[in-house]
Structure 1
Amino acid sequence: MNSFSNNKYSSSVRKYFANTHYGLFNLHPSASAMDIRRSYRELSKLYHPDTTNLPLEEAKQQFQKLNEAYGILANPEKRSLYDLQIGYSRWNVIQSSYDLSMSLSEEEEGMTSTYLDPTERPLSGGELFALLLMGITIISCLLLAITLAWLRSSII
């Protein structure tokens, strides 16, 4: 998880993003959608007016801020625009697949995929083969239908 509490990010980076929606979630702007959702769920339980120990007005304000921030960060288009507003660019971010400060058990737990979004992963060999077979089947069916239609029209 790309949290500021990992001591992975310098204090100047923390201060720079502290007054942003990412700072509200205690996340770095390179955090994945799953990290944002996880943080939102934890904080929404903390700030929801029905479940918090905070005064009602303060809880409402915090919960509204949280919902507004999540509404922006959960939507990829809005998030990209927001990142431009705060001066963060994903083009110059290199995401390492390893965090050398994590222990082996933490690494195994957090390394389910090196891709940020499941739709970004390349197709496997088996998936490509299945697509090839489906394409051949569709083309064969079309050729068979055209051949049968041509044979029936020439018989009559």
Structure 2
Amino acid sequence: MRPLRSLRARWGALALGCLLVAGCGAKTATVTGQVTYKGKPVTGGSVVFYCSDKQIVRGLIGPDGRYSIPNVPSGIGPATVTVQSHTRVPEGFRMKQQLPPSVGGPTPPAPDRTDGPRTPLPLRYAQPEESGLSVTVDRDHLTYDIDLKP
């Protein structure tokens, strides 16, 4: 019985050693920034990172042009970046809600952000092969502002 215990102890030590060498999980970071086009903030859409380890992460662009993407793989090399401007939803495809007035109760939801003006972007910025944008994430938090050109 002793050889079996000794074998288990060796395998356990080997597994523990592998975990210590590899670390306790992949490193990730949060990337934030502002997207501008022709010097003005892009008012909606998304920023997508195509990481070198084949992961894809994305974040939405707010009305002020700012975005935040958590859990971006860190320290693995450059990521290709794309920016997509979402088009407005046609009037007939949205469901309008008519909520009764509320006194002292919950407030109605804010208007749909698809109602606001959209910034049309050149299609090349939505294609990973054509965007020309890339960033290397090598810290826990990185600010990456994206200034798009016509």
* TM-score bin (small chain): under 0.3
Q: TM-score, normalised by structure 2?
A: 0.20
Bigger radius of gyration, 1 or 2?
1
Greater relative contact order, per chain length (Cα 8 Å cut-off, separation 6+): 2
Normalised by the length of structure 1, the TM-score is 0.20
